[in-house]
Amino acid sequence: MKNVIEVNNLTQVYGQKTNKPYKALKGIDLQVANGEFVAIMGPSGSGKSSLLNVLATLQAPTSGTVKVNNQDIWQLNDKNLAKFRGETLGFIFQEYNLIESLNVFDNIALPLSLQKIKKAQIKKAVHLVAKQLNLTEQLNKFPTELSGGQKQRVAAARALVHQPSLIFGDEPTGALDSNNAREMMNYLSAINMENNISILMVTHDAFSASFAQKIHFLSDGQIVQTLERHNASREDFYRDVLTTLGNFNE
Amino acid sequence: MLSKIALSTIKHRLKDFIVLFTGLTIAVAIFFMFTTIANNRAFLEANSIIQQITLIFVIGEFLLGFITLIYLTFANNFLLQLRQREYGLLMMYGATKSQVSQLLFRETLILGSLASVVGIFVGMALTAIAGNVLQKLLYLNLPHWQFFNGRGLIVTIVFFAVILTINGIWNVLHLKRTQLNDLLHANQVNEKLPTKMGRYFIFGILGIILMILSFIIMHKIAQMGLMGLILALILNVSGTFLIIRASLILILNVLQKLTGSYKGLRRFTIGQLTFRLSAFDKLLTIVTLMFALALGALSVGRGFQMTVPILASQNSAYTIAIKDPTKQETANIDKLTGVTFKTTYQYKMVNKAKLYLSKAEFSQVNLPVLATNGTMQTQESLKIPKTTYADAKELANKYPSALNQLLVNITANNVNVTANNMGAIDASFLNKTAFAVAKGQSGSITVIRVKDYNANETTLAALVKSQMANHSDFSTDTITGTYPIVQLLRSYMGGIEFMGFFLAIAFLTMLASTLMFKVLSNTAIDKKRYRILSMIGANTSLLKQTNAKEIGVIFGIPMIIGFLDVWFGLPMFKPIMGNVYLGFGFAAVVVVILYVLYYLLTVFLYQKILALKQKHN
């Protein structure tokens, strides 16, 4: 199967010029196959956010390569990187990251407007994805008028609307209560399976992680263990994750 | 202990505090500048041809007070926004509400008093510099000018003390009413949602009507007097407010419906502006007011400045006449640049009663005269006509006033030459030989015309000075030509000219600080938004363009409405100015250049704070 992400020997060092440089990532190798749903777990300070920032093109690595769809992303210039980000990637963050000055429709439509897509097509795509995420009634509202769960669904719709090859999630359920978190994860699974979009999600929450097909455990800047779901049910996989985490803590 | 914690938290947000402190200081300084002039009655009365000038300044001071009040409210809200979270934290650690309230009250007062003290000194310096530099630039020497007066100082101190105390009390009340949890989350600023469009429609139309009404009243101000002025002001300010609050949001709403709005970040810009206009309504209203006042003041000031040489040139065909030039004066005459005419006429005078002039000299080089066109001298008539008279006699017949000027200058006497009478003094033109043998004290007068007064200002002023010193019988109006009239007019109109320029500087400074302050206080909200856009795929240059466009519209609105205000408001000055639009072009160029510079600086600072850069290693 083709890989959507290929990471080779990735390192990230902060404060290189100071006398106390901090190595956040110590030579990570990682692949995500097309259509795969991968989670990355680890305690705070393990390098989760650093890894996601580099993969999501938000911060350049110190060394190593990141290929997305065979394209070495850190070889792109600013303009092409922005274009790449806009066309290929989708983001869902813990703090929703919606633009309060735009209503739900315009928030979801943003990635498409940036790609200079025609109004009629934008409308069609937004309504389609809004239907999928049960947001049709909310399209004219502003983010401040929505509940947390609704906001995160808007964020998901925005990540999905331009049919990216890959969606990044950074603690997407972190700000949600358990009901909303379950609902959100169900939506993400559906997006992964129905739209065949790969998802890479960083989380510290075992429940959310159990929706993935594969979980990498990160500790001290390195991948220390990988857990695969294979054909197990989500509930069984959840138990496996909890066990693994328990072993970690011992 | 609490104060210590409070001080240490200030350090963390030093940049914001510097913005706040600078804004406050400038507000105090400008208020002081204005108050110093407004309270210098002797200066105002001595230097103005408008009788109600003192009253106008009192109205102006109320206006500025109003602007300052709104500005301080912004500043105060900004302070609250900066501090609320910290105060919430202090209360989490066990500080009581009243302890924290006291701390906030003290902080407001300390910041305010510091800004007041610094502001008063800055104001004094600004007043002194603006005053002296301006007087030099405009070649004015205004009587009773002072950069400091006690009354002005007291008014400034009392004004700010009262407002700061009110602000302090308001802050404490606000703190008392707010829940701890809200304080802790105060940094997550939520902008107000714009209300529904139906309302905008009514208010939008009303705003335009009020605005037009104010223009009509301004046009008829001569009939309505002071009440008209106040009425026009009220209508104009409320009209501006409603236009910003409603009409423009209505327009944005229409723009949003257009197909083109789906391109790039246009809908983002429209959304941002819809929110900003609702949040900035009061600010943009006073900025419009300040823009209009600055542009208007400068137009009037410049108008008077430009009127001076025009009026002067209607009074004489030459720039200056120098009687019996000394060596020093001859050297000065040689220094003059752009000389278009220069000649010297000999004269002989007997006991200051009998004057002989050489007919031949006047026939050879014609004395420059103004051609009269009916009673009014037209612009064309200001050129020196070519040989318009054959001999001196014809000069006396045809252009008595030109000869009159010269004779006044020679005899230091009031003469009134008519066609048949050479005036109170017994003056006559003699032919060459008769003039040569005539007895009497001989002397000469050199008549000069230069192209540009300003280029020769120092030399001309020195010549007037030495003429006055050399001839004890000269009075201020003995020296003839346009330059002495320029000097006379400057002393007459200089006050208005000066006040126009001075007020323009004051309003522009205040405007810059207000607008920049408010715009920059939004970076916290926008930082996140631009980061999101960047993640969604907007590249840096598009983000920069979008940001510049948004700030551009916010800057553009006061400019456009301000221009309309001035264009329709200038006719108010018809009673005291010939052509009310004379200085408008100059003022427009200067104000727009400065305004564009403010804009560019704001965009630069904004984008620096937003850090719109790719983090490429």
pLDDT in tens, B237-295: 999 999 988 888 888 888 888 878 888 888 899 888 888 888 888 889 989 988 999 99
For residue A22, pLDDT beyond 60: yes
| Other Cβ atoms within 10 Å of A37 Cβ, number | 23
CB B187 within 8 A of CB B85: yes
For residue B576, pLDDT beyond 90: no
Phi/psi at B201 (5° precision): -65, -50
Question: How far apart are the C-alpha atoms of B285 and B282, rounded to whole Å?
Answer: 5
The pLDDT tens digits of the residues spanning A133-158 come to: 889 999 999 888 898 889 989 999 99
Q: Which residues of B touch A158 (CB under 8 A)?
A: 536
Nearest chain B Cα distance for residue A73, angstroms: 12
Amino acid at A84: F
Instruction: Place B579 in a pLDDT band, splitting at 50, 70 and 90.
Output: confident
Tell me which chain A residue has its CA closest to the CA of residue B612: A78
Least confident of A5-9, A227-231, B423-427, B531-535: B423-427
Domain membership of residue B605 (yes or no) is no
CB contact under 8 A, B534 and A82: yes
By the 10 Å C-beta count (0-12 exposed, 13-18 middle, 19+ buried), B405 is classed as buried
Q: Does A86 touch chain B (CB under 8 A)?
A: yes
CB contact under 8 A, B536 and A81: no
Nearest CB to B191 within list A78, A101, A145 = A101
Question: How far apart are the C-alpha atoms of A149 and A181, rounded to whole Å?
Answer: 8
Question: How far apart are the C-alpha atoms of B489 and B7, rounded to whole Å?
Answer: 57
Nearest CB to B535 within list A91, A98, A116 = A91
Tokens encoding A186: 């169900």
CB B271 within 8 A of CB B308: no
Least confident of A59-73, B131-145, B380-394: B380-394
pLDDT at B610: 83
Token pair 């229409």 is found at: B254
Nearest chain B Cα distance for residue A245, angstroms: 32
Tokens encoding B536: 């969604």
Question: How far apart are the C-alpha atoms of B134 and B534, rounded to whole Å?
Answer: 48
Higher pLDDT, B521 or B615: B521
| Other Cβ atoms within 10 Å of B396 Cβ, number | 26
Tokens encoding B532: 């999101």
Nearest Cα to B270, choosing from B256, B284, B250? Answer: B256
Answer CATH for A3-249 from 3.40.50.1860, 3.40.309.10, 3.40.50.300, 3.40.718.10: 3.40.50.300
Nearest CB to A113 within list B191, B264, B531 = B264
Mean pLDDT of B163-174: 84
| Other Cβ atoms within 10 Å of A11 Cβ, number | 17
Nearest chain B Cα distance for residue A119, angstroms: 6
Selected residues 8-37 of chain A with any CB under 8 Å from a CB in chain B: none
Question: How far apart are the C-alpha atoms of B68 and B55, rounded to whole Å?
Answer: 20
Its ipTM equals 0.84
Kindly report the pTM of this predicted structure.
0.80
SS3 state of residue A218: strand
Nearest chain B Cα distance for residue A80, angstroms: 8
Instruction: Place B521 in a pLDDT band, splitting at 50, 70 and 90.
Output: confident
Nearest chain A Cα distance for residue B588, angstroms: 34
Q: Give me chain B's average pLDDT, please.
A: 82
Mean pLDDT of B195-211: 84
Q: What is the dihedral of CA A138, A144, A149, A154, to 10 degrees?
A: 50
CB contact under 8 A, A82 and B539: yes
Nearest Cα to A32, choosing from A45, A50, A51, A15? Answer: A51
CB contact under 8 A, B265 and A82: no
Tokens encoding A219: 């500790």
Mean pLDDT of B329-346: 91
pLDDT at A8: 92
Least confident of B58-67, B337-346, B459-468: B58-67
CB contact under 8 A, A103 and B271: yes
- Suggest the residue from A12, A58, A77, A100 to mutate for an interface test with chain B (most B CBs closer than 10 A): A100
DSSP letter string, B544-569: HHHHHHHHHHHHHHHHHHHHHHHHHH
Domain membership of residue B371 (yes or no) is yes
Question: How far apart are the C-alpha atoms of B577 and B570, rounded to whole Å?
Answer: 10
Least confident of B54-63, B125-134, B502-511, B557-566: B54-63
Question: How far apart are the C-alpha atoms of B361 and B18, rounded to whole Å?
Answer: 72
Nearest chain B Cα distance for residue A81, angstroms: 8
Domain membership of residue B125 (yes or no) is yes
Q: Does A217 touch chain B (CB under 8 A)?
A: no
Q: Which residues of A touch B537 (CB under 8 A)?
A: 82-87, 89, 111, 114-115
pLDDT at B411: 82
> What secondary structure letter does DSSP report for A138?
G
Question: How far apart are the C-alpha atoms of B314 and A150, rounded to whole Å?
Answer: 78
pLDDT at B27: 87
Output the CA angle B510-B514-B518, nearest 5 degrees: 175
Domain membership of residue B555 (yes or no) is no
Among B157, B188, B219, where does a domain finish?
B188
How many secondary structure helices (H) and strands (E) does chain A include? 8, 10
Q: Does A106 touch chain B (CB under 8 A)?
A: yes
Among B188, B217, B234, where does a domain finish?
B188
pLDDT at B378: 41
Phi-psi label, residue B551: left if phi above 0, alpha if psi -120 to 50, beta otherwise: alpha
Instruction: Place B149 in a pLDDT band, splitting at 50, 70 and 90.
Output: confident
Q: Does A240 touch chain B (CB under 8 A)?
A: no
For residue B499, pLDDT beyond 70: yes
pLDDT at A250: 57
Q: Which residues of B touch A103 (CB under 8 A)?
A: 271
Nearest Cα to B388, choosing from B364, B360, B369? Answer: B369
How many secondary structure helices (H) and strands (E) does chain B include? 21, 5
Q: Which residues of A touch B259 (CB under 8 A)?
A: 119
Nearest chain A Cα distance for residue B543, angstroms: 11
Q: Are strands A214-219 and A37-41 parallel, antiparallel or unpaired?
A: parallel
Tell me which chain A residue has its CA closest to the CA of residue B272: A101
For residue B298, pLDDT beyond 90: yes
CB B543 within 8 A of CB B533: yes
Question: How far apart are the C-alpha atoms of A25 and B244, rounded to whole Å?
Answer: 52
For residue B379, pLDDT beyond 50: no
Least confident of A93-102, B37-46, B369-378, B547-556: B369-378
The count of domains in chain B is 2
Q: Which residues of A touch B274 (CB under 8 A)?
A: 101
Instruction: Place B184 in a pLDDT band, splitting at 50, 70 and 90.
Output: low
pLDDT at B117: 93
Nearest CB to A81 within list B259, B264, B614 = B614
| Other Cβ atoms within 10 Å of B94 Cβ, number | 7
Among B170, B188, B206, where does a domain finish?
B188
Nearest CB to A78 within list B525, B536, B614 = B614
pLDDT at B380: 41
How many whole angstroms from its chain centre is CA B547?
30
Question: A11 - beta bridge partners?
Answer: A26, A63
Question: How far apart are the C-alpha atoms of B544 and B528, rounded to whole Å?
Answer: 14
pLDDT at B68: 84
Q: Does A114 touch chain B (CB under 8 A)?
A: yes
SS3 state of residue A10: strand
Selected residues 151-190 of chain A with any CB under 8 Å from a CB in chain B: 158
Higher pLDDT, B67 or A4: A4
Nearest chain B Cα distance for residue A114, angstroms: 4
Domain membership of residue B543 (yes or no) is no
Question: How far apart are the C-alpha atoms of B58 and A131, rounded to whole Å?
Answer: 64
CB contact under 8 A, B535 and A97: yes
Domain membership of residue B180 (yes or no) is yes
Least confident of B17-31, B58-72, B576-590: B58-72
Tell me which chain B residue has its CA closest to the CA of residue A88: B537
Domain membership of residue B8 (yes or no) is yes
The pLDDT tens digits of the residues spanning B230-248 come to: 899 899 999 999 998 888 8
CB B403 within 8 A of CB B417: yes
Tokens encoding B149: 């007066």
Q: What residue numbers bound the domain in which B433 lies? A: 320-480
Nearest CB to B536 within list A100, A101, A111 = A111
Percent of chain B with pLDDT over 70: 87
> What secondary structure letter does DSSP report for B579?
S
CB contact under 8 A, B616 and A78: yes
CB contact under 8 A, A116 and B264: yes
SS3 state of residue B412: coil
How many Cα neighbours within 13 Å face the side chain of B500?
Answer: 27
Nearest CB to A85 within list B263, B531, B535 = B535
pLDDT at A237: 92
Question: How far apart are the C-alpha atoms of B457 and B23, rounded to whole Å?
Answer: 39
Tell me which chain B residue has its CA closest to the CA of residue A117: B263
Tokens encoding B270: 């429209």
- Suggest the residue from A13, A114, A139, A145 to mutate for an interface test with chain B (most B CBs closer than 10 A): A114
Question: How far is residue A9 from each of residues A51, A67, A223, B148, B547, measured CA to CA in Å?
Answer: 12, 12, 11, 71, 38
Least confident of A19-33, B11-25, B163-177, B519-533: B11-25
CB contact under 8 A, B191 and A158: no
Output the CA angle A208-A212-A213, nearest 5 degrees: 155
Phi/psi at A214 (5° precision): -145, 140
